[in-house]
Structure 1
Amino acid sequence: MRIREATTDDWAQIWPFLRDIVAAGDTYTWDRDVTEERARDSWMSTPPGRTVVAVEGGTVLGTAKMGPNHLGPASHIANASFMVHPAHGGRGVGRALGTHVLDQARADGYRAMQFNAVVETNTRAVGLWQSLGFDIVATLPEGFEHATKGFVGLHIMYRKL
């Protein structure tokens, strides 16, 4: 597996699994019926943001985007989002992307990484981020309307770099 900057040509492989993950309504705070154009505009970051893909051969296994969490005097805190193609889950793609993004954020001069919305029932993601040094600093009770579980908590997670 190799992680590299995403190109516009990668979108054709990203969109199908991104669409399905968002439509499932159990991990992402995006509109479940997001259009391809809006998803592409949101996911394919421009500087100072970055979008990367994890690839094996010519196959995109997963993707991540990162950039400043806020602007101006709070722009030293990074934020990132991740999606792994479900067919490639459990192979370490999320961990590899997470490690890459943390290393890149540190190299880019960020002082910390904050995740604004980790759904508490997404236990695989919560466990992964905790294993990479993130703490849950707050939970917004009933902050996320899960497609099958109703209202569940939304974690804010943080890690100093």
Structure 2
Amino acid sequence: MEIREARDGDWEQIWPFLRDVVAAGETYCWTRDTTEEAAKAWWMGKTGGRVFVADDGGRVLGTAELHPNQPAAGGHVANAGFMVAPLAAGRGVGRALAGHVLEQAANEGFRAMQFNAVVETNHNAVSLWKSLGFTVLATVPASFRHPVHGFVGLHVMYRSLEAPRPE
């Protein structure tokens, strides 16, 4: 599996699983009936952003997008989104994308990465981020309407991207 920059034509493979993830309503704060046009603009078109895919022999198994968390004075902190095709769940695609995105963010000079809205019931994502050094800074209670669990919290998660200084 290769993690690479998204190219023209990758969207056709991204959209079907992105649509399914969003329609499930369990992990993203998007409307469950988000249109393809709106999804493409949001995922592929962020100012200052880059999009990556996990490519397994020409088959896109997952995608990530990296962008500044805030503009201007907050632009030194990165943010990212990740989606893995359900058929590829449990195969290390998310971890591979995460490692690549963290490396790219550090190489681009971002000093940290912040996630603003990790659904607390998304145990796989929370576990992955914690294993990669993220901490939960806060949980905003009952701020996500989960289709199964009702109102659940959203974690704000953070990780420094600066290399530790020698003592």
Aligned-CA RMSD value:
0.8
2:81 aligns to what? 81
1:27-80 CA-partner distances (Å, limit 9, x unpaired): 011111000000000111355210000011010010000110000111000000
Separation in 1, partners of 2:46, 2:144:
28
Asked whether 1:57 is paired with 2:57, we answer yes
Distance 2:146 2:152 in 1: 7
Aligned to 1:44: 44
Q: Post-superposition shift, 1:8?
A: 2.5
| Identical amino acids, percent of aligned pairs | 62
- Once residues 30 and 146 of structure 1 are traced to their aligned partners in structure 2, the CA distance between those partners, rounded to angstroms, is 12
SS at match of 2:9: helix
C-alpha contact (below 8 Å) 1:45/1:65 kept by paired residues:
no
Count of equivalent residues: 161
Q: After superposing the two structures, state which structure 1 stretch, 100-109 or 38-47, moved more.
A: 38-47
What CA deviation, in whole Å up to 9, does each residue of 1:76-104 have, x standing for no partner? Answer: 00000000000001010000000000000
Structure 2: how far apart are the matches of 1:65 and 1:78?
10
**Equivalent position of 1:106 in the other structure:** 106
Q: Which SS does the other structure have where 1:9 is aligned?
A: coil
Q: What is the letter of the counterpart of residue 38 of structure 1? A: A
Letter in 1 for 2:66: M
> In 1, Cα distance between the equivalents of 2:16 and 2:8?
14
Asked if structure 1 preserves the Cα contact closer than 8 Å seen for 2:46 and 2:67, the reply is: no
After alignment, is 45-54 or 124-133 more displaced?
45-54
Amino acid at match of 1:107: N
Q: Does 1:116 align with 2:121?
A: no
TM-score, length of structure 2 as denominator length: 0.95
Query: 1:117 is matched by which residue type in structure 2?
Result: A
Unaligned segments of structure 1, at least 5 residues = none
Aligned-partner residue type, residue 135 of structure 1: T
Q: Which runs of 4+ in 1 moved over 6 A?
A: none
- 1:20 matched to which residue of 2? 20
Q: TM-score, normalised by structure 1?
A: 0.98
Runs (5+) with no aligned partner, structure 2 = 162-167
